[in-house]
Structure 1
Amino acid sequence: MSSIRERNKELILRAASEEFADKGFAATKTSDIAAKAGLPKPNVYYYFKSKENLYREVLESIIDPLLAASAPFNQPGLPADVLKAYIRSKIRISRELPYASKVFASEIMHGAPHLSAEQTEHLNAQAKHNISCIQRWIDRGLMAQVDPHHLMFSIWAATQTYADFDWQISTVTGKANLDEADYEAATQTIIRLVVKGCEIDESVVSPSEQVGSA
């Protein structure tokens, strides 16, 4: 029974992500979500109680991976290694969770009305922590004197564009869907721009120059 329950919830969440990404919260109907999931409409209410609860679940499904993507900043590491891992994780989120990513972006653009205070606090705290790590690297001479806030904003924009602007990317590349090689090329391009642009010396490997999360 539990496997059927989890399967149905996953089908509804996936369908809801697509519908909310395409139409927004207000214009999305639970009947459309149910139809896309291939389940009766009452199932949506049975598992999630309301459209708003379902929307919050979609947000939760992307917030956890976004926070997890920052894991490299939460342990000792050199700038190049940490930033490479972070960029790669952010691209993976855009590839694997494109609809939830769009829903999250729309939520932020509208002032995050459905995010809880706790979720907002966790996201902001992690972002500030990441920025503080970058500033410490700058202070130790491990990278150029860039503005750490705007560096982080630029990484967000560069990686998330592969989810939020998929139509434009498909139009320009002439591909209906990007493949593994495309995402790897995107990852390597962003990494190169960040590492080279921030003048990070990738040959530095001395443990004494490693920067932790303190």
Structure 2
Amino acid sequence: MARESVTAKRRTPKAPEDRIRARNEATILRAAVELFARKGFDGTRIAEIAEASGLPKANVYYYFETKEAIYATLIERLLKGWDKALEHIRADREPREAIAAYIAAKLDYSRRHGTESRFFANEIMRGGAFLSKAQRRHMQEITRERVDVVDGWVRDGRLRPLDPRHFFMMLWASTQFYADFAEVAAMTLGKPKLDAADYEAARRTVVDVIVAGCLAAESRP
């Protein structure tokens, strides 16, 4: 009976008010990130977010007490997405598979969340004033953990000698470019906008070049 009760509880759908809250918060965040990406924090007003989301201004304040709260939520969501991609870089995986999976995940995130990536890039170019100390520390710590993994691969002779910090910056540059500079990428490819096939071509190219360049000679196919 206890097992049945637990199962039934897990299958209980969210209350209607929870679904409404989740839907409205998502709507507000979608509208806000578009505005922040184009106009920055100072150039965006709550009234504009309300208008773009199709919700009354009072509703926006109901879900988010301040504009800063919306901005901070967007940063936190993006960092979680990037953290998820970094989970592929693990000491128990072969470097070839781990690096290829990480590149694929980062490019997929760029494709699905291009506006969020541009929003964050603009925040950093403005000095990153809204990055909290905890977020900065988290970014440093999670990068350091993955740097240690790459260092271990180098020590084991599975990667050629390289600076893992510059290695990660190269990975970020080659994957986030397709979101942060989507217009340039599309123009280079001679088309109005990027599509899924372009991201797949990018994945193959970036993986082929970077993986082939960093694997130790004995680890290459």
TM-score by length of 1: 0.89
Change (3 A) 1:176 1:76: same
1:177 is matched with which residue? 193
Superposed counterparts of 1:1-214, under 5 Å: 1-74=17-90, 76-200=92-216, 201-203=219-221
Q: For residue 213 of structure 2, what is the amino acid of its counterpart?
A: G
Shift in Å, 1:151: 1.0
Shift in Å, 1:68: 1.0
Shift in Å, 1:125: 0.8
Identity over the aligned pairs, expressed in percent? 38
1:211 is matched with which residue? none
Shift in Å, 1:75: 5.3
Q: What does the per-residue CA deviation read over 1:132-180, in whole Å, with 9 as the maximum and x for residues that have no partner?
A: 2111111111121122111110000110011100121222223333222
Q: For residue 158 of structure 2, what is the amino acid of its counterpart?
A: L
CA distance in 2 between partners of 1:109 and 1:74 (Å): 30
CA distance in 1 between partners of 2:127 and 2:145 (Å): 22
CA distance in 1 between partners of 2:50 and 2:182 (Å): 25
- Whether the aligned pair in 1 keeps the contact of 2:31 and 2:49 (CA below 8 Å) is yes
Structure 1, 106-115 or 177-186: larger mean CA deviation: 106-115
User: Where does structure 1 differ by over 6 angstroms across 4 or more consecutive aligned residues?
Assistant: none
Shift in Å, 1:111: 3.2
Q: What does the per-residue CA deviation read over 1:44-68, in whole Å, with 9 as the maximum and x for residues that have no partner?
A: 1111111111111111110111111
Q: Secondary structure at the match of 2:120?
A: helix
Name the structure, 1 or 2, with higher relative contact order (CA <8 Å, separation 6+): 1
Change (3 A) 1:38 1:175: farther
CA RMSD of aligned residues (A): 1.5
CA distance in 1 between partners of 2:136 and 2:116 (Å): 17
- Whether the aligned pair in 1 keeps the contact of 2:107 and 2:203 (CA below 8 Å) is yes
Structure 1, 120-129 or 110-119: larger mean CA deviation: 110-119
TM-score by length of 2: 0.87
- Whether the aligned pair in 1 keeps the contact of 2:90 and 2:149 (CA below 8 Å) is no
Shift in Å, 1:202: 4.7
